[in-house]
A and B are shown apart, each in its own frame.
Chain A
Amino acid sequence: MKSNDSASPRVMIVDDEPNIVTAIDFLMQQQGFQTASAYNGAEALRMMEAFQPDLLILDVMMPVMDGYEVASSMRKEDKWAGTKIIFLTAKGAEKDKSQGYGAGADVYLTKPFDNKALVEKVRDSLDLDW
């Protein structure tokens, strides 16, 4: 948790690549969002209880627990029904995308990503005006 502003949206970044987490964290904070980061799926699910994110930026290929598993287990619980999920992954094939949407993703983006596009999708998902 890098911000304590309770009114601003809460975004959790889940990726096993620390440099990518650093970059996204910078972009989200620039938008004034509160951020938290986790380096694998299990860690993310643990931290969510405390952080209560509005949106997850989720990598797929991670050790311990991958992004699909995180999304699926979230979608089984009502309390995360309002939490948006954006997959951000190097896996760009159609079948990966449909698997991602099947697991409960709202948006599916591929790496390498365009900073502006990512920010835009996050804002859209959070129903925020520019």
Chain B
Amino acid sequence: MSTLVVVVASLGYLVLLFGVAYFGDKRALQGRSITNNPFVYALSLAVYCTAWTYYGSVGRATETGLEFITIYLGPTLMAPLWYILLRKMIVIAKSQRINSIADFISARYGKSAFLGSAVTIISIIGIIPYISLQLKAVSFSFDILTQQGGPQAFFEGTSFYQDTAFYITIILAAFTILFGTRHLEVAEKHEGIVAAIAFESIVKLVAFVSVGLFVCFGVFDSPIDLFQQADKIEELRNLFVIDQNHGSQPWTWAWLTLISMSAILFLPRQFHVAVIENKHPNHVNKAIWLFPLYLFVINLFVMPIALGGMMEFSGQNVDADTYVLSLPLAYGNEYLALLVFIGGLSASTSMVIVATNALSIMASSNLLVPLLLRTSAIQGDFVRDVSGRLRSLRRLIIIVILILAYVYFISIGQGTSLVSIGLISFVAVAQFIPSMIGGLFWKDGNMVGAIMGLLAGFMIWAFTLPFASLVQAGIIESELIEKGLWGIDGLRPFALFGMEGMDKVSHSAFWSLLVNAALYVIGSLYGKPSVIGHTQANLFVNIYKYTGGQTESAFFRGKAQFVDIRLMLNRFLGYEHSNDLLNRYARNHNLELEKIKEASPHMVLYAEKLLSGVIGAASARLLVGSVVKEEPINLYEVMNILDETQQLMRYSQELERKSEELRKATLDLQSANERLKEMDALKDEFITTVTHELRTPITSIRSFSNILYDNPALEDEKRAEFLAIIIQESQRISRLINQVLDLEKMESGHADWNLTQLDVGLVVQESVRRLQSLINEQEIKLHLDLPNHLPLIRGDKDRLMQVVINLLSNAIKFCKPDRGVVNVRMVYTDEDLILKVSDNGEGISPEVQPYIFDKFTQFTDHRSGRRQGSGLGLSITWRIVRYHRGSIEVESSPGEGATFTVTLPLSETRRLPMKTPSFNRTP
């Protein structure tokens, strides 16, 4: 076929592809996304099927039979797990605005810049062979197609400028740059690219199926015919047998399946389409069966094409990797051949575009931006827009990666089959398994473990696969393969520690992953995470607890000048874009952009996330850190906020607090109960005392009544005496009952108080008048000292009179039997009215003084040794005085008499309520 036709067709296809991408972007801008559905998502995942699948599977099948299927078995087995794994990754990536797998791992392990760069370097070194594989496929397919058609002199020669692959590299670089770097903020998604990739997935599927159908029905009569013919040849029959003798061991199957399980999500380009470009986590649900279906269909014709090619080209020197193209050509079906070429081109370009794009994002975010930030090449001036510079940086990286891939291709790739090149990359990417899976589900997995595992795994991989390949290819001269590193037999790259009989890939995968996983666990168990490492671990592992919330700002206390934040965003996102985003933020949070002076922690975090969409988490953190004054937050606080165990601890602290409260309440109840018991005991004692006090007069009354009844002949004098006693004791009973009732009423607050404005002087005079006969009888000298004019107080006249009478009669009772003197004196100040009643008796002993206002504290008559009174008088007096907001005190020393002082506050009594307050206190 003419080169011109092929070139024009290829360019035409690429233009069409660009059109699709343009259309996709345009629709996205109009808000009518064509990629926002699970079918496009599943098709975009099919970027997994590259030239390796397209050409290489057939080649592989001719050597190891069905073994090629492991590369698709892994993803198929993995797909159901996406529901847990992929969805979680998507949610995390969205909430953290993650832009690549390097960013993901770096963010998970404390936004470690070192890890980010390590993952980036591993990815670039690991993926370069894979990209070179695409270059090789496109260039050989181009060569085959054009050699068949016409003059080939144009591309013949040894210089690179005459090499097809070189031009293809340049075209792919240009195309990738055109596609990938139009937008900077990765988190904003490249709808155009996704649309183009999905479109390419259809193209390659259609082309491959067409060849399959052509072989089955064009070359042979039917698939049955094909298989029947193949069955006659033993060599071909054996391709369907899996046993030790045919090079395809179960061991190999297991390892290839495992590494392809990881490749489907952890290859940078797969991570990019599956996680970063994902529109909605729910799209995963359909992709779980759509994507395996795609794999099934595209693999359906691998064996027929392989068998057909082997039969067709038996004995000829035709590379099995080219059967897909060679078969139509052999039958002169040029248009089908062109379609096949275009299909292959689509398989390659989709991979190259997405992979280099993903790697360039990684490299710029994790290698170059941190470097620039640290060397202050960007920090220097804050005003200039660096988004342009970032874009150039990414373009440069794309070119460098493709050049590296090209160099790899011309140095070692040419002599190697497509699949074996690709598998090297798969093992490299499989090194992410421990840190990714551990990072998603094991909170204790930390940066130390991740770094140790990754580096060790990477070194073992590099030693056993690419390095050993270089040696094997004779590029590095060494006896390494036979004699081992430093001549140590245990360090032979294909038989580490003497493990022989495994194929190179399984061997490398086994050792690198074993050491990687072991070190990851050990490092995590013994290493100490940083504060932020702890926080991020929690956010990742428990992402569903935090989505929608603003927990990150709960432990982030950084504040910054809004101007700084704005400048920073302007520079990295471009003025218009950052302005849009800030306006949107302001709208959502009811802020006025012009009025913001200080950016809140929440806003700073938002800015950091926006930035991390452009330059990755680690770099964004570094950059934001330069303008933020972060208040120190200690590990304890972070753990308190986030850590699940800490939350449990908090919960248990809460429980403890509650039980402490409960304990206190119990204690309170107990003491209340004690008090009740005490009060009950007091009540009992009160009742006992009252009963006793009642029994005494009743005893007298009964006894004397009996005496009078039994002795009718009693002389009149005696009779009169006894009757007088009966009357006296009856009065005593009724007095006692009245006092008890009175006291009870006052204590329970049921007493009626008859409050009026009154002159206490008059009350005192009236009381004295009532007791006058008693005073006269006992020949007591009473000194009454009342001012002429007294301020009125508010009070209950009868009860206040009771107070005066109680005090007076006590004084009369206890003053000296002969020459008794009682002084009653009244004075007043601005605040108080003071009444003093004193006698010249024996006084009250100091031990008794504290209790004299208690109920039933009776005074003992020193003369007779007998108690006097009911013991209720002073108690009632105290209560009446207290009711009037006053106080009563006693001063006495033995032999010196006693003075009772009643103080009534003038202002307080004026405010006395009309209603009766309750009195539950005992003095």
> Residues of A at under 8 Å CB distance from B?
16-20, 22-24, 26-27, 30, 39-40, 42-43, 61, 63-64, 90-91, 111-116
Decide if A112 touches B867 in the complex (CB within 8 Å). Answer: no
**Which among A30, A43, A114 is the interface contact of B865 at CB below 8 angstroms?**
A43
Decide if A113 touches B865 in the complex (CB within 8 Å). Answer: no
Given contacts A63-B866, A90-B699, contact A26 B707 (CB under 8 A): yes
Contact with A along B482-501 (1 / 0, CB 8 A): 00000000000000000000
Decide if B860 touches A20 in the complex (CB within 8 Å). Answer: no
Given contacts A40-B866, A91-B692, contact A63 B706 (CB under 8 A): no
**Complex interface: chain B residues within 8 A of A18 (CB):** 866
**Complex interface: chain A residues within 8 A of B711 (CB):** 30
**Complex interface: chain B residues within 8 A of A24 (CB):** 703
**Complex interface: chain B residues within 8 A of A113 (CB):** 699, 702-703
Given contacts A19-B729, A111-B696, contact A39 B864 (CB under 8 A): yes
16 CB-based A-B contacts, threshold 8 Å = A16-B865, A16-B867, A17-B699, A17-B700, A18-B866, A19-B700, A19-B725, A19-B729, A20-B699, A22-B725, A26-B707, A40-B866, A63-B866, A90-B695, A91-B692, A115-B706
What is the bound-complex CA distance between A19 and B705, given in angstroms?
12
**Complex interface: chain A residues within 8 A of B700 (CB):** 17, 19-20, 23
**Which among A16, A22, A23, A27 is the interface contact of B866 at CB below 8 angstroms?**
A16
What is the bound-complex CA distance between A16 and B858, given in angstroms?
13
What is the bound-complex CA distance between A63 and B725, given in angstroms?
22
Contact with A along B591-617 (1 / 0, CB 8 A): 000000000000000000000000000
**Complex interface: chain A residues within 8 A of B753 (CB):** none
**Complex interface: chain B residues within 8 A of A63 (CB):** 860, 865-867
Shortest Cβ gap from A8 to chain B (Å): 20
Decide if B695 touches A23 in the complex (CB within 8 Å). Answer: no
Which has the most chain B C-beta neighbours within 10 Å: A19, A42, A116? Answer: A19
Residue B691 is within 8 A (CB to CB) of chain A in the complex = yes
What is the bound-complex CA distance between A17 and B729, given in angstroms?
11
**Complex interface: chain B residues within 8 A of A112 (CB):** 695, 698-699, 701-703
What is the bound-complex CA distance between A23 and B701, given in angstroms?
9
Decide if A111 touches B867 in the complex (CB within 8 Å). Answer: no
Decide if B865 touches A20 in the complex (CB within 8 Å). Answer: no
Decide if A17 touches B706 in the complex (CB within 8 Å). Answer: no
What is the bound-complex CA distance between A23 and B867, given in angstroms?
19
Decide if B707 touches A115 in the complex (CB within 8 Å). Answer: yes
**Complex interface: chain B residues within 8 A of A39 (CB):** 864-866
What is the bound-complex CA distance between A77 and B615, given in angstroms?
110
What is the bound-complex CA distance between A112 and B700, given in angstroms?
8
**Which among A20, A27, A42, A43 is the interface contact of B696 at CB below 8 angstroms?**
A20
**Which among B703, B728, B867 is the interface contact of A115 at CB below 8 angstroms?**
B703
Given contacts A19-B729, A26-B707, A91-B692, contact A111 B699 (CB under 8 A): yes
Residues of B706-735 contacting chain A, CB below 8 A: 706-707, 710-711, 718, 725, 728-729
Shortest Cβ gap from A98 to chain B (Å): 17
Closest 9 interchain pairs by CB?
A90-B695, A23-B703, A112-B699, A111-B699, A19-B700, A112-B702, A115-B706, A40-B865, A90-B692
Shortest Cβ gap from A85 to chain B (Å): 19
Shortest Cβ gap from B757 to chain A (Å): 44
Decide if B695 touches A111 in the complex (CB within 8 Å). Answer: yes
**Complex interface: chain A residues within 8 A of B691 (CB):** 90
Shortest Cβ gap from B418 to chain A (Å): 109
Given contacts A23-B704, A63-B865, contact A115 B710 (CB under 8 A): yes
> Residues of B at under 8 Å CB distance from A?
691-692, 695-696, 698-704, 706-707, 710-711, 718, 725, 728-729, 860, 864-867
Shortest Cβ gap from B790 to chain A (Å): 40
Decide if B692 touches A61 in the complex (CB within 8 Å). Answer: yes
Shortest Cβ gap from B536 to chain A (Å): 77
Decide if B703 touches A20 in the complex (CB within 8 Å). Answer: yes
What is the bound-complex CA distance between A16 and B692, given in angstroms?
13
Chain B binding surface, main DSSP class: helix
What is the bound-complex CA distance between A27 and B714, given in angstroms?
13
7 additional A-B pairs beyond A39-B866, A63-B866, A90-B695, beta carbons within 8 Å, are A17-B700, A39-B864, A39-B865, A40-B866, A63-B860, A64-B860, A113-B703
Which has the most chain B C-beta neighbours within 10 Å: A27, A39, A42, A115? Answer: A115
Shortest Cβ gap from B443 to chain A (Å): 70
| Nearest chain B residue, comparing its CB with the CB of A88 | B699
Shortest Cβ gap from A46 to chain B (Å): 11
**Complex interface: chain A residues within 8 A of B725 (CB):** 19, 22-23
Shortest Cβ gap from A37 to chain B (Å): 12
**Complex interface: chain A residues within 8 A of B706 (CB):** 114-116
Which has the most chain A C-beta neighbours within 10 Å: B695, B711, B865, B867? Answer: B865
| Nearest chain A residue, comparing its CB with the CB of B701 | A112
Shortest Cβ gap from B179 to chain A (Å): 106
**Complex interface: chain A residues within 8 A of B702 (CB):** 112-113
**Complex interface: chain A residues within 8 A of B707 (CB):** 23, 26-27, 115
What is the bound-complex CA distance between A40 and B862, given in angstroms?
12
Which has the most chain A C-beta neighbours within 10 Å: B695, B698, B729? Answer: B695
**Complex interface: chain B residues within 8 A of A42 (CB):** 865
**Complex interface: chain A residues within 8 A of B864 (CB):** 39
| Nearest chain B residue, comparing its CB with the CB of A115 | B706
**Complex interface: chain B residues within 8 A of A91 (CB):** 692
What is the bound-complex CA distance between A19 and B701, given in angstroms?
9
**Complex interface: chain A residues within 8 A of B728 (CB):** 19
What is the bound-complex CA distance between A16 and B718, given in angstroms?
21
| Nearest chain A residue, comparing its CB with the CB of B728 | A19
Decide if A64 touches B865 in the complex (CB within 8 Å). Answer: yes
**Complex interface: chain B residues within 8 A of A43 (CB):** 865
| Nearest chain A residue, comparing its CB with the CB of B695 | A90
Shortest Cβ gap from B721 to chain A (Å): 8
Shortest Cβ gap from B764 to chain A (Å): 32
What is the bound-complex CA distance between A26 and B725, given in angstroms?
14
**Complex interface: chain B residues within 8 A of A61 (CB):** 692
| Nearest chain A residue, comparing its CB with the CB of B866 | A16
What is the bound-complex CA distance between A91 and B700, given in angstroms?
16
What is the bound-complex CA distance between A33 and B698, given in angstroms?
25
What is the bound-complex CA distance between A39 and B866, given in angstroms?
7
Shortest Cβ gap from A99 to chain B (Å): 15
What is the bound-complex CA distance between A39 and B691, given in angstroms?
21
What is the bound-complex CA distance between A42 and B866, given in angstroms?
12
Which has the most chain A C-beta neighbours within 10 Å: B696, B703, B706, B867? Answer: B703
**Complex interface: chain B residues within 8 A of A27 (CB):** 703, 707
Which has the most chain A C-beta neighbours within 10 Å: B698, B707, B711, B718? Answer: B707
**Complex interface: chain B residues within 8 A of A90 (CB):** 691-692, 695-696, 699
What is the bound-complex CA distance between A109 and B573, given in angstroms?
109
**Complex interface: chain B residues within 8 A of A115 (CB):** 703, 706-707, 710
**Complex interface: chain B residues within 8 A of A64 (CB):** 860, 865
Shortest Cβ gap from A24 to chain B (Å): 7
What is the bound-complex CA distance between A90 and B725, given in angstroms?
19
What is the bound-complex CA distance between A43 and B704, given in angstroms?
25
Which has the most chain B C-beta neighbours within 10 Å: A30, A40, A90, A114? Answer: A90
Shortest Cβ gap from B705 to chain A (Å): 9
What is the bound-complex CA distance between A63 and B867, given in angstroms?
7
**Complex interface: chain A residues within 8 A of B718 (CB):** 26
Shortest Cβ gap from B774 to chain A (Å): 19
Shortest Cβ gap from A60 to chain B (Å): 10
| Nearest chain B residue, comparing its CB with the CB of A38 | B865
What is the bound-complex CA distance between A58 and B169, given in angstroms?
130
Shortest Cβ gap from B230 to chain A (Å): 115
**Complex interface: chain A residues within 8 A of B703 (CB):** 20, 23-24, 27, 112-113, 115
Shortest Cβ gap from B732 to chain A (Å): 9
| Nearest chain B residue, comparing its CB with the CB of A22 | B725
What is the bound-complex CA distance between A64 and B701, given in angstroms?
26
What is the bound-complex CA distance between A17 and B864, given in angstroms?
11
What is the bound-complex CA distance between A90 and B698, given in angstroms?
10
Shortest Cβ gap from A64 to chain B (Å): 5
What is the bound-complex CA distance between A90 and B706, given in angstroms?
18
**Complex interface: chain A residues within 8 A of B860 (CB):** 63-64
